[in-house]
Structure 1
Amino acid sequence: MVMNTGFKSQCLPTYRVLTQDQINTLHCATLELLETVGVKIMHEEAVQMMADAGCRVKKDNIVQIPNYLVEEAIISAPSRITIYNRLGKAAMHLEGNKTYFGMGTDLVKTYDLKTGELRESQLRDVANAARIADYLEEIDFTGSYALPFDSPTNLAYIDSFKAQLENCVKPIFYTAAGMEDMAVIHDMAAAVMGGNEALREKPIHIHYAEPLTPLMHSSGAIDKLFFCADNGSPVNYTPGMMSGASAPVTLAGAVTVGNAEALSGVVMHQLRAKGAPIISGFGMSTLDMKAGTCIYGCPEYRLALSACSDLYHYYGIPMWGTAGVSDANCIDQQAGMEWAMSLLMAGLDGANLIHDIAYMGQGLVGSPAALVMNAEIISYVRRVIKGFDIDAEHIGMDVIKSVGPQGGFLTTDQTMKFFKDEHWQPHLSNRTAPDIWAKMGSKTWGQNATQKALDILNSHQAVPLDREVQESLDAMREKAFIDLDGKQFES
């Protein structure tokens, strides 16, 4: 890590994995892969669009993409995307090195706050996570976090989106099973914002879809990609690879494949609607060759995401990332280590949309207490990446001289003026002496986080929806229950 002096003598930590020559090498390898091997596109309309744009179409819908189309798409994709909350206020500016942290969408197991039981996730877990995210200022956007098994067939994503609208004002990161439930979700967001044009002007949600590794785009994924492009709705279209299984075992090879998948998605999206908002990038877990499991908290994932950040800062396209993730199956020391390492690296990377905070168990397990703990780690990370000022006032030579040898700084005006800004203050972490801590019950950080989560759920409510909007959402959900329950979607 090096320290660079920047604006107003502010010292900011900077971190990158790739040199400019290495960025060029990976970019050129990606272009070669797309032009000579190509990607399989399982969507006839998309194949024809690509052919009309100058791509070569081979047997079995293998589409080879010329370099210039990739370069044109990189240029036309917006370098800045503003996301709003449901009150109409700008909440996230996805650009440059600005970082925003939030939840993922698909945890099948949840630790019950009151009983400690690990059980199937339910819709109340989605609502609870949204309320906690609404309260915690360190969490910038919400996701369903849990995947509710008590929702009717094919309404899980609709119910989750509605629960988030009802329990949180922050932007929503969401998934959908197919076009049918995605259209309902979009209509719900439009109802909150006052119509489709108002939603296009002030988007409050980001859809997550992904290609198939290696080098494939499914019909369902492209349908959703095109729906977002047509409606000017931000889409996060990024592959999720497993190095050693669905992607090369070498990090350089996996990065090249993932980048080709991501950029081919950008090409299709921008050909469909030039300038439409897209968030790109790639993620890369690894296959543990001993356990046979998909590893989420490994250092290789961090390195790949750092390389992704370097590439997409070079491209000028807002990028996705993951952090606050652990392979531990409960809140323990391993979870704390892996959460902290991933959150710190993501913050230093400057990835824009960082999701999946407070994930455990290879992306299968969640806990409301884990959300509170990750919020505290994010606060710590933000203090690190904030750096510090090195101007005359902050050096305070006159103060140092006036105190002199063997003096004290506690009562100086400088201390009173700057201590809150210069010194990070945790909400939950222990800073008491051992004997005082023992007298206070010897509570662990995890126990404090559990109590804090319970306190939030007992006392906090998000700003309510207008009555007319709430009634509209209820009616949409009931219509979806009639229309979609039991229907099979194409993903």
Structure 2
Amino acid sequence: MTDQTPLRSGGRAARRAARAAPLAAHMRPIRPGMEGGQYRPLSDADMQAIHTAALDALETIGLCDAPPSGVAYLTGGGALLGDDGRIRFPRALVEDTLAKANRSVTLFARDPARDLQLSGNRVHYGTAGAAVHLVDVAGNNYRECGVQDLHDAARITDVLDNIHFLQRPMVCRDITDNAEMDINTIYACCSGTTKHVGTSFTDPAYVKDALEMLHMIAGGEDKWRERPFVLNSNCFVVPPMKFATESCQVMEACIEGGMPVLLLSAGMAGATAPSTVAGAIVQAVAECLAGLVYVNAVKPGHPAVFGTWPFGLDLRSGAMTGGSGEQALLTAGCAQMHHFYGVPGGAAAGIADAKMPDMQAGWEQMCSNVMAGLSGLNMVYEAAGMHASLLGFCHESLILGDDLIGQALRCVRGIEVNEETLALDQMREVCIGGPGHYLGTEQTLSRMETDHVYPALGNRSSPKEWEELGKPELVPNATRRKEEILSQRSQARFDPVTDKAIRERFNIHLPA
């Protein structure tokens, strides 16, 4: 008996090691681009009514404050400039644009294995936002965030399986020159991850330099245009129903430079958008349809993401409610409208109003992330790390969000029903002359890694085991994981020659 013990132990250790090793991509139980669409809060009649209302709004109300270049593009494409300065969109123009708009957009990454294919109900989760504070969990407080914090967020994102892209989640508050801030934002993100990156620009004049740096990173303008791995997140409207003049000029410059565009409409229900869920969706859809016409007037077929981002509002206090049930419904309803039009789309989910990664944050982040995924939203923005209704970003929460989104993605995957999964043969084998349980069956062992998602930090031990392990806590464990990630050199860093050239051309604030 004693001779057999090491063999049994070694076999068990080998099995544990095999389970701990990363699965091949095709065997993973969850992955980027899984098909959602099971959840439909809007009926077909509801979607048609929203569409009709949006067309009415564009035709009778229109949008104001387009830059002169935008007026020229839009009126040249068939929009009408009224005496009141508002541009109105005939139904036929909108419908013609929808008929020729892209049904599929590839968001490229520096690593081609991390490209995102946006079409149908394919779901991807990632970061976004413009937080001005970093959440310090150790001190239970907030501080202003800087370029190093942004770079660290990119490095953490790079190693998290369930965070599929990095849109800039915070502002570099330590860089006071806006032109340098825009350049350093791109540098910090792209040198931290090879996943797809999104960013914004504070002035159209800054786009040229940013494109020059992106050409250097890509290895030439031709290579950049072939695989543009950075998207312009563009708030082209100031709700309700007004173009954001400078942002529109940024958008035009980005389109000219070959950069994909996220058409972002972010009204606040009850303040800058109607207070009803349906009304807020109507306005967001109308504004993004106007943006789609604009983009295709500048360059037909240019890759654009339909970014309806209406936010909830606590009408008692005027505070944003990113973690509310209303927010989850807004996002899911917007996803349905993207499918109604057949265009790639994105919206916001996973936002916590909670100030720290606590129980409130958990229920707020999971509620909207699950509903967004089940609704088949192509790009789930702000899905991890965001606190205080987008004012704070937390590295530990980003890491915990990877676990949380893993469970959300398992919900998106749904239930497979076939002869094997119905398991009748297995039931017969176990119940008639078998062990009376399924713990050691071939089917259980063979499917335990491909059917089930296991949390990296979430604790499933018994109270006794938990106590024996020293009563591990979630947030301190996330901090240790953060420190472990940041102790390693970034795998996305640029080669020394490229980095030296970038630093000689631009004032890069991150240390070499």
Q: Evaluate the alpha carbon distance shift between residue 404 and residue 17 of structure 1 in structure 2; reply closer, same or farther with a 3 A threshold.
A: same
> 1:65 pairs with 79, 89, 95, which one?
89
TM-score by length of 1: 0.91
In structure 1, what residue type is equivalent to 2:166?
T
Q: Give the equivalent residue in structure 2 for 1:447.
A: 476
Cα displacement (A) at 1:194: 2.1
Asked whether the equivalents of residues 323 and 355 of structure 1 are also in contact (C-alpha less than 8 Å), the reply is: yes
Aligned residue pair count: 472
Q: Give me the whole-angstrom Cα distance separating, in 2, the residues matched to 1:135 and 1:389.
A: 29
Structure 1 stretches of 5 or more lacking a match? Answer: 1-9, 481-491
> 2:142 pairs with 118, 122, 125, which one?
118
Q: Evaluate the alpha carbon distance shift between residue 188 and residue 12 of structure 1 in structure 2; reply closer, same or farther with a 3 A threshold.
A: closer
1:282 aligns with 2:311: no
> 1:431 pairs with 460, 473, 486, which one?
460
Q: Give me the whole-angstrom Cα distance separating, in 1, the residues matched to 2:502 and 2:123.
A: 31
In structure 2, what residue type is equivalent to 1:219?
T
Q: SS at the partner of 1:354? A: strand
Q: Give me the whole-angstrom Cα distance separating, in 1, the residues matched to 2:199 and 2:400.
A: 23
In structure 1, what residue type is equivalent to 2:428?
K
Q: Give the equivalent residue in structure 1 for 2:206.
A: 181
Q: Give me the whole-angstrom Cα distance separating, in 2, the residues matched to 1:455 and 1:433.
A: 26
Asked whether the equivalents of residues 125 and 381 of structure 2 are also in contact (C-alpha less than 8 Å), the reply is: yes
Q: Evaluate the alpha carbon distance shift between residue 13 and residue 105 of structure 1 in structure 2; reply closer, same or farther with a 3 A threshold.
A: closer
Q: Give the equivalent residue in structure 2 for 1:474.
A: 503
Q: SS at the partner of 2:148? A: helix
Q: Give the equivalent residue in structure 1 for 2:444.
A: 415
In structure 2, what residue type is equivalent to 1:385?
V
Please report the RMSD computed on the Cα atoms of aligned residues, expressed in angstroms.
2.1
1:235 aligns with 2:257: no
1:199 aligns with 2:224: yes
Q: Give the equivalent residue in structure 2 for 1:109.
A: 133
Asked whether the equivalents of residues 225 and 235 of structure 1 are also in contact (C-alpha less than 8 Å), the reply is: yes
Deviations 1:306-360 (A, max 9, x none): 1111111111111011122111111211111101111111111111121212211
Cα displacement (A) at 1:185: 2.2
Q: Evaluate the alpha carbon distance shift between residue 23 and residue 12 of structure 1 in structure 2; reply closer, same or farther with a 3 A threshold.
A: closer
Q: Give the equivalent residue in structure 2 for 1:130.
A: 154
Cα displacement (A) at 1:460: 5.3
Asked whether the equivalents of residues 428 and 448 of structure 1 are also in contact (C-alpha less than 8 Å), the reply is: yes
With 268-277 and 82-91 compared, the bigger mean Cα shift is at 82-91
| Amino-acid identity (%) | 26
> 2:405 pairs with 373, 378, 393, which one?
378
In structure 1, what residue type is equivalent to 2:398?
L
Deviations 1:91-149 (A, max 9, x none): 10011111111111411111236655421101110111011001111111113322122
Q: Evaluate the alpha carbon distance shift between residue 174 and residue 469 of structure 1 in structure 2; reply closer, same or farther with a 3 A threshold.
A: same
TM-score by length of 2: 0.88
1:38 aligns with 2:28: no
Asked whether the equivalents of residues 104 and 145 of structure 1 are also in contact (C-alpha less than 8 Å), the reply is: yes
Q: Give me the whole-angstrom Cα distance separating, in 2, the residues matched to 1:465 and 1:413.
A: 46
1:166 aligns with 2:195: no
Cα displacement (A) at 1:29: 0.9
In structure 1, what residue type is equivalent to 2:361?
A
Q: Give the equivalent residue in structure 2 for 1:485.
A: none
Cα displacement (A) at 1:262: 0.8
Asked whether the equivalents of residues 36 and 123 of structure 2 are also in contact (C-alpha less than 8 Å), the reply is: no
Q: Give the equivalent residue in structure 1 for 2:48.
A: 24
Q: SS at the partner of 2:421? A: helix
Deviations 1:133-168 (A, max 9, x none): 011111111133221221242122221210111111
Asked whether the equivalents of residues 36 and 377 of structure 2 are also in contact (C-alpha less than 8 Å), the reply is: no
1:364 aligns with 2:394: no
Q: Please give the residue correspondences for 1:203-282 in structure 2 after superposition, counting only pairs within 5 Å.
A: 203-210=228-235, 211-282=237-308
Deviations 1:251-308 (A, max 9, x none): 2222211111111011011011110000013122233232222221122222122111
Deviations 1:51-100 (A, max 9, x none): 23332211342011101111111122211111222134451001111111
Q: Give the equivalent residue in structure 2 for 1:353.
A: 379
In structure 2, what residue type is equivalent to 1:306?
A
1:56 aligns with 2:43: no
In structure 1, what residue type is equivalent to 2:161?
E
With 432-441 and 51-60 compared, the bigger mean Cα shift is at 51-60
Asked whether the equivalents of residues 157 and 176 of structure 1 are also in contact (C-alpha less than 8 Å), the reply is: yes
Q: SS at the partner of 1:14? A: coil
Q: Evaluate the alpha carbon distance shift between residue 390 and residue 254 of structure 1 in structure 2; reply closer, same or farther with a 3 A threshold.
A: closer
Cα displacement (A) at 1:42: 2.7
Q: Give the equivalent residue in structure 1 for 2:350.
A: 324
Q: Give me the whole-angstrom Cα distance separating, in 2, the residues matched to 1:225 and 1:387.
A: 38
> 1:81 pairs with 105, 112, 122, which one?
105
Q: Give the equivalent residue in structure 2 for 1:484.
A: none
Asked whether the equivalents of residues 372 and 380 of structure 2 are also in contact (C-alpha less than 8 Å), the reply is: yes
Q: Give the equivalent residue in structure 1 for 2:19.
A: none
Q: Evaluate the alpha carbon distance shift between residue 278 and residue 56 of structure 1 in structure 2; reply closer, same or farther with a 3 A threshold.
A: same
Q: Give me the whole-angstrom Cα distance separating, in 2, the residues matched to 1:44 and 1:185.
A: 24
Asked whether the equivalents of residues 78 and 275 of structure 1 are also in contact (C-alpha less than 8 Å), the reply is: yes
Q: Give me the whole-angstrom Cα distance separating, in 2, the residues matched to 1:206 and 1:52.
A: 26
In structure 2, what residue type is equivalent to 1:374?
G
Q: Give the equivalent residue in structure 1 for 2:419.
A: 392
Cα displacement (A) at 1:183: 2.4
Q: Evaluate the alpha carbon distance shift between residue 114 and residue 333 of structure 1 in structure 2; reply closer, same or farther with a 3 A threshold.
A: closer
Q: SS at the partner of 1:39? A: coil
Cα displacement (A) at 1:46: 1.5
Q: Give the equivalent residue in structure 1 for 2:17.
A: none
With 342-351 and 390-399 compared, the bigger mean Cα shift is at 390-399
Q: Give me the whole-angstrom Cα distance separating, in 2, the residues matched to 1:418 and 1:89.
A: 25
Asked whether the equivalents of residues 283 and 321 of structure 1 are also in contact (C-alpha less than 8 Å), the reply is: yes
In structure 2, what residue type is equivalent to 1:299?
G
With 399-408 and 311-320 compared, the bigger mean Cα shift is at 399-408
Q: Give me the whole-angstrom Cα distance separating, in 1, the residues matched to 2:226 and 2:114.
A: 11
Q: Give the equivalent residue in structure 2 for 1:296.
A: 322
Q: Give me the whole-angstrom Cα distance separating, in 1, the residues matched to 2:505 and 2:206.
A: 11
Q: Give me the whole-angstrom Cα distance separating, in 1, the residues matched to 2:462 and 2:172.
A: 43
Q: Which runs of 4+ in 1 moved over 6 A?
A: 10-13
